[in-house]
Structure 1
Amino acid sequence: MCGIAGAVCSSGVDPETVRGMCGTITHRGPDGSGLHVEPSAVLGMRRLAVVDVVGGDQPVYSEDGTIVAVFNGEIYNFAELRTELLDRGHRLAASGDSECLVHLYEEHGDAFVHRLRGMFAFALWDGRRRRLLLARDRVGKKPLYWGMRSGSLRFASELKALIDDPRWRGEVDPVALHHYLTFQYVPAPWSIFEGIGKLPPGSTLVWQDGQVRVDRYWRLDATPRLGPVVEAEEAERLRELLLEATRLRMIGERPIGAFLSGGVDSSAVVAAMARQSPQPVRTFCVGFEETGFDEREHAREVAARYGTDHSELLLSASPLDVLSTLAWHFDEPFADSSAIPTFLVAKMSSREVTVVLNGDGADEIFGGYRRYALLQRASRLRVPPTAAPLLDAAGRSLRSLSRRGSLLRRVGWGLELAGLPTADRYTRLMSYFTERQKREIYTPWQCGRVAGVRSGAIIERAFEESFAGCDLTRIMDVDVNTYLPGDLLVKVDISTMANSLEARSPFLDHVLMEWAAGLPGELKIRGGTSKYLLKRALADWLPAHLLQRQKMGFGVPLASWLRTGLRPLAHDLLTDATARNRGIFDPRAVARLLSEHARGRDHANRIWTLMQFELWHRTHLPAQPAVRPVVDGQRRLRSM
């Protein structure tokens, strides 16, 4: 596991630029560094040593030295690939996975990415052809940012490595910000900066002669499998695949543990680890004093069942002290509040282990989110078009007056979604700010900058591109292509790598995912039971009451924090002169959100989204003028 950075330019690259970029991401690889230098290409990396600790330094080279690569991630089938390469006459100097890349490229060209089973982002320079190949793993576990200016291309595992050079620090992209307010993250291919993008999951980028081409090499195929489905056989196959995916992710020379929340997914991974580990598994859990958010009791039960070496962390108050740290590590505005416990449990785990396994991906591929059942119920409703606006207004009113998880809030959601098409229902469920709410909070200047831009179009496109057999499984496929790589995987990658910790996700093994994608919807959600097949497969592994209890999620008591410990910070951040003078958000609309939330209406997610943007801006662009001259009503505001 590493962090990578580099630059290519026909007219030459300064090695110190790339050396500095690597220095910015030292936390991703504290165990060593490497740099390849030639006139038109410089590739660098920082190493977190897990596999082949002694001999696995980078960059790695072909036998004649003309092909060089730097690599971030893990290739779990590297032993098989090494045997194949040795049989074909290649000479491998080390015993790890990264060296396979250059030799596989010699054998298969760019198509060798299809041979890799794992998580990765890499850069490969073909010196003979003066050609750079960048690639990112199928699901998007490992990040890769890139930008082009005047024929020069730079790339890095983290955005901060690019923008540390003021010449590459651009303007905030208004479209990226617009999408962030909807989804709580900036979706690929955008980044928060104009002129810098993210390489999408399952994609390659080729730079040659100053020209760039991006191609997608993989997308999860959710086409339903043909033929009869026998539940018992499918449950057995699921267990086999999960055990294999877990076993592959237990390979390494450094201590390994697992996040154990007490939910079905992380518990399943711990069970699979315990069945294949000669030593007690080390498990780590974070809990809250608020009982509605605390799952430590369930985590303890699983830990006791499998005899794990279990550690807990209790969050007893709003974590003011960690917010500035998160703002620095998250290179873009990021408003998933579960980043707080994820970061803290990663910090705790890193004191004892170098690698942790987690349960990410199970909800998306087996149907675990409550929204799937809600959307399934909403799809059965038939509402006259004339009634849809009335139901929408009534639903929004009920939701604003109800508490999280209450029956009244579920009724409100049902009314609000009843008159919408499936993709629009999903967008509404996932939106922190709807299009209407964004227009209400923007200044006229900001409204003009994003006129005609709809964040829902991202969801509609993903929905239309899916080959899944029904609306329910198509929505799961949408999550695999949007929410999973844009939110969950970013949260875990940044939180773990900030603490020099590697996270591995057995449920995101692409072999397991491709098998699960073809399962019929009724094996995923049946009779109100989420993750039906997964729970059946785990019946002998986990207690029945744990499998049957309602999904809690990894949330935090954000609404109460913003009325207590975080209330002064929210007010100061969002209403002071610095925030007002950006010219992006209407100060009166922001003040109204804060006031209504304090009086009991739940605007926690929207306030948090605005706070994270402001914290990000002050952390990464402290000296940048707020905005260019803009028009606010009839009054012209000037940059400050």
Structure 2
Amino acid sequence: MCGIAGVVSTGRPDPALVHRMCDVITHRGPDGAGMHADDRCAMGMRRLAVIDVAGGDQPVRNEDGTVVAVFNGEIYNFAALRAELIRRGHRLRGDGDSECLVHLYEEHGDDLVHRLRGMFAFAIWDTRRRRLLLGRDRVGKKPLYWRSDGSTLSFGSEAKSLLQDPGLDRRLDLVALHHYLSYQYVPAPWTIYQGIRKLPPGHLLTWEEGAVEVRGYWRLDCTPHEVPDETEAAEQLRERLLDAVRVRMVSERPLGAFLSGGVDSSAVVAAMARCSTEPVKTFSIGFDEARYDEREHARLVARRYGTDHHELVVSSSSLDLLPTLTDHFDEPFADSSAIPSFYVARLSREHVTVVLNGDGGDECFGGYRRYALMRALARVPDWAAPRALHRVGGGLVAQTRAGSRPRAVGRILQLLGQPMLDRYASLISVFPPAQQFDLYTAELRAHLAGVDSWALLGEAYAASRAADPLGRLIDADVHTYLPGALLPKVDISTMANSLEARSPLLDHHLMEWAAHLPTRFKLRGGTTKYLLKRAVAPWLPAEIIDRPKMGFAVPLGRWFRGELRDLAWSLLTDQTARSRGLFRPEAVTALLVRHDRGDDESHRIWALVQFELWHRNWLDRAGAPSTAVPTYRDLLARQS
């Protein structure tokens, strides 16, 4: 597990720049560094040593040094790949996984990605052809940013590496901002910075004499297949989960697991216990507000398997973490579960170097409650749900108090009065389009005229091969929400703490098997993750299987009416924020007032707070004296 960065150019790149690009991501790899430089390419890495600790330094090279690679991630089938390469006459110097890349490139060229089982972002420099190949894993567990000006291309595991280039003009991408306020993250290929892009999951990028080509190599195929009966399917799922867990338990450094008390992480811990002769180390986060606290459920699993269990409680007083999050999240990110994710990573790193988690269970097996709601709404025929219902529902929402039954009815009417895809987009959006454009100044509205963030969801839906609308929505989440929000949150939170996270439920063999299941195996009546729950029911306490989904939520609503209220007002309404000319001050104030009066606007406020913190940290202060822009710490000091 590492961080990588580099520059290729038709002229000679600057190795000193690449050193700086690597230095700013030392947290991703505190155990060592490596560098390659020639007349066209300079690239380096920071290493977190997990496999082949003694001999796994990078960059790695083929026998004659004509192919060089840097690599971030883990290749779980590396032992089989090494054996095959040795049989074919290749000489491998170390005992790890990264060296396989250069020899696989010699054998298979760009198609080497199809041989890899794991999570990865890599750069391979072909010195003979003067050609760079960048690759990112199938679902996007490992990030990769890039930038090209026509003659030079730079890349890095984090955007902050690219920001080390003094020639880069840090400017806000307004379209990316618009997408962020829709989805709470900036979707690939955009980043919040003009000129910097993300390589999408399942894609390759080639650079040769200044010419750049990006192309996809994998997409989940959700074409339905014939399936066995439920009993046999559940047995197959258990076997596949055990296999995915087993290959992810290979490590020369201490290993444990995140344990939330939900079905997914509990199933992973149960599988780990079956694959291990030692007690599994488990880590949980709780809150001092009972409705958000899952510790008791996590303890049920920990007691059942005799794990070495560790806990930490998060409170609003812990939010001095926010400046640290802003430093590590190079883009605005509005999923508030980044807070407990960061804390559980920090707790885990005190004891282990590698953790397994339950990420991907909801996307693979239909776990989100919104799927059940969408199926229920779909039972209402179109003729019974005219578009006028949307206006009626909106009026009811506006005239009733938060949390009341009439407000809930109004929300359902709003959804019924929309086309199916708009319904789903409404459920997952932070700011729906009407609220976005009400928030924007006239200048920003004019700039974004015709930009439709919801079209991104529509494109993912249209590309799906699933047989029914609900299956296509689940597939769309695999290609949007999963790599856009869930995986970056975990990667950044863990790597900021020099911790490697592995996700058995996102093993591509398991995902491809699950993708072919009919939707009835995922959602049965009101039961989400139907087959997964049936499969792991013999492993887990009934309280875990039967409990409603909780999610990794934090009490934002209370925090923004209590300890963080004054801070939010100061941050979003001071002269620094108003001077940007992006958001109408009266719209921002109205949002804060509505929340004070009882409406839950906390997620929208959080999105604006995260954008403002990011802007001050990454744009304002980049070219300003250190005292010119009030920071989060400055504002916090004023409140105290």
Cα distance in 2 for residues equivalent to 1:166 and 1:408: 56
List aligned pairs for 1:159-238, cutoff 5 A: 159-225=159-225, 227-238=226-237
The corresponding residue for 2:617 is: 619
1:527 aligns with 2:528: no
Counterpart for residue 268 of structure 2 = 269
1:458 corresponds to which residue?
A: 456
Residue-by-residue CA offset, 1:297-352 (whole Å, 9 max, x unaligned): 00001000000000000113353300010011000000000000000110011010
Matched letter for residue 65 of structure 1: G
1:255 to 2:254 alignment: yes
> Residue in 1 aligned with 2:77?
77
Q: Secondary structure at the match of 1:562?
A: helix
TM-score normalised to the size of structure 1? 0.95
Deviation per CA, 1:497-533, whole angstroms, max 9, x where unpaired? 0000000000000000000000000010001111110
Secondary structure of the 1:359 match is: coil
> Match for residue 66 of structure 1?
66
Report matched runs for 1:425-504 at 5 Å.
Answer: 425-504=423-502
Q: Structure 1 residues 30 and 408 mapped into 2: Cα distance closer, same or farther (>3 Å)?
A: farther
Report the equivalent of 1:361.
Answer: 360
Aligned to 1:573: 571
- The residue aligned with 1:600 is 598
Does the aligned pair in 1 maintain the 2:204–2:217 contact within 8 Å? yes
After superposition, the Cα gap between the structure-2 partners of 1:104 and 1:386, relative to the gap in structure 1 and judged at 3 Å, is closer
Aligned CA distance change for structure 1 residues 417 and 22 (closer, same or farther; 3 Å): same
Residues 392, 410 of structure 2: 8 Å contact kept? no
CA 1:394 to 1:214, structure 2 compared with 1: closer, same or farther past 3 Å? Answer: same
Separation in structure 1 between the aligned mates of residue 347 and residue 287 of structure 2, nearest angstrom: 15
Alignment match, 1:110 = 110
Q: 2: distance between equivalents of 1:579 and 1:400?
A: 30
Question: Could you say which residue in structure 1 is the equivalent of 2:12?
Answer: 12
Residue 423 of structure 1 and its aligned partner are, at CA, apart by: 1.7
CA RMSD of aligned residues (A): 1.6
Contact 2:396–2:406 under 8 Å retained in 1: no
| In structure 2, distance between residues paired with 1:396 and 1:224 | 42
Q: Which runs of 5+ in 1 are unaligned?
A: 627-640
Q: Kindly provide the amino acid, as one letter, of the partner of residue 575 in structure 1.
A: T
Paired position in structure 2 for 1:590:
588
Rounded to whole Å, the distance in 1 between the matches of 2:397 and 2:228 is 42
- Residue 115 of structure 1 and its aligned partner are, at CA, apart by 0.3
CA distance in 1, matches of 2:398, 2:96: 53
The one-letter code of the counterpart of 1:590 is V
| Matched-pair contact (CA < 8 Å) for 1:265–1:360 | yes
Q: Residue type matched to 2:328 in 1?
A: H
Q: Could you tell me whether the CA contact under 8 Å between 1:190 and 1:197 is conserved in 2?
A: yes
Q: Per the alignment, in what secondary structure is the counterpart of residue 309 of structure 2?
A: strand
In structure 2, list runs of 5 or more residues that go unmatched: 625-640
Task: Kindly indicate whether the alpha-carbon contact (under 8 Å) linking 2:396 and 2:407 is maintained by their aligned counterparts in 1.
Answer: no
Which deviates further from its counterpart, 501-510 or 165-174?
A: 165-174
* Residue range with higher mean Cα deviation, 158-167 or 11-20: 158-167
CA contact (8 A) 2:7 2:155 kept: yes
Which residue identity does 2:375 align to in structure 1? Q
C-alpha displacement at 1:425, in angstroms?
1.4
The 5 Å alignment of 1:504-543 reads: 504-543=502-541
Give 1:389 shift.
3.2
Contact 1:75–1:119 (CA under 8 A) maintained in structure 2: yes
Deviation per residue, 1:169-205 (Å, 9 max, x gap): 4310000000000000000000001111000000000
Residue pair 1:184, 1:336 contacting (<8 A) in 2 also = yes
- Whole-Å separation in 1 of the counterparts to 2:391 and 2:145: 39
Which residue number corresponds to residue 631 of structure 1? Answer: none
Alignment of 1:627-638 (within 5 A): none
SS in 2 for 1:252: coil
Does the 8 Å CA contact 1:2/1:46 hold for their aligned counterparts? yes
8 A contact 1:162–1:169 mirrored in 2: no
Match of 1:629 in 2: none
559, 562, 565: which one pairs with 1:564? 562
Moved more, 598-607 or 166-175: 166-175
Structure 1 equivalent of residue 351 of structure 2: 352
User: What is the percent sequence identity of the aligned residues?
Assistant: 62
Q: CA deviation at 1:419?
A: 2.5
* 1:449 to partner: Cα distance: 1.3
Distance 1:499 1:625, change over 3 A: closer
1:140 corresponds to 2:140: yes
- For residues 415-465 of structure 1, the C-alpha deviation after alignment (integer angstroms, 9 at most, x for no partner) is 221122222111111110011111100001111111100100000000000
Structure 1 residue 393, shift from structure 2 partner: 4.4
Q: d(CA) in 2 for partners of 1:558 and 1:170?
A: 31
1:124 aligns with 2:102: no
Whichever residue aligns with residue 618 of structure 1, its letter is R
Paired letter, 1:141? K
Once structures 1 and 2 are overlaid, which stretch shifts more, 165-174 or 13-22? 165-174
8 Å Cα contact 1:401/1:602 also seen in 2: no
**Cα deviation, residue 288, structure 1:** 0.7
Q: CA offsets, 1:459-511, max 9 Å, x none?
A: 00000000001111111100000000000000000000000000000000000
Whether the 8 Å contact between 2:28 and 2:495 is mirrored in structure 1 is yes
Distance 1:571 1:160 in 2: 29
- Deviating more after overlay: 345-354 vs 169-178: 169-178
Kept after mapping to 1: 8 A contact 2:393/2:411: no
Q: Which residue of 1 aligns with 2:289?
A: 290
1:65 Cα shift? 0.1
Instruction: Report the Cα distance in structure 2 between the residues aligned to 1:265 and 1:399, rounded to whole angstroms.
Output: 37
- Identify the residue that residue 101 of structure 2 maps to in structure 1: 101
Answer whether contact 2:74 2:97 (CA < 8 A) is retained: yes
- Letter matched to residue 612 of structure 1: Q
Q: In 1, are the aligned partners of 2:393 and 2:413 still within 8 Å (CA)?
A: yes
State how far apart, in whole Å, the 1-side matches of 2:293 and 2:454 are.
33
2-side partners of 1:12 and 1:295: how far apart? 55
| Letter paired with 1:186 | V
Distance verdict in 2 for CA 1:401–1:292, change over 3 Å: farther
Equivalent position of 2:632 in the other structure: none
2:306 aligned with 1:307, yes or no?
A: yes
**8 Å Cα contact 1:382-1:418 kept in structure 2:** no
Report the 3-state secondary structure (helix = DSSP H, G, I; strand = E; otherwise coil) of the residue aligned with 1:488. Answer: helix
Return closer, same or farther for 1:401/1:244 CA change in 2, 3 Å cut-off.
farther
Q: Give me the whole-angstrom Cα distance separating, in 2, the residues matched to 1:396 and 1:478.
A: 31
**Residue equivalent to 1:635:** none
Count of paired positions: 624
The 8 Å contact of residues 396 and 416 in structure 1, kept in 2 or not, is answered as no
Deviation at 1:402, TM superposition (A): 6.1
Change in Cα spacing, 1:373 to 1:410, as seen in structure 2 (3 Å) is: farther
For the structure 1 residues 402 and 272, does the alpha-carbon distance in structure 2 shift closer, same or farther, using more than 3 Å as the test? farther
Q: State the alpha-carbon separation in 2 of the partners of residues 197 and 485 from structure 1.
A: 14
Corresponding residue for residue 630 of structure 2? none
Describe the SS at the equivalent of 1:319.
helix
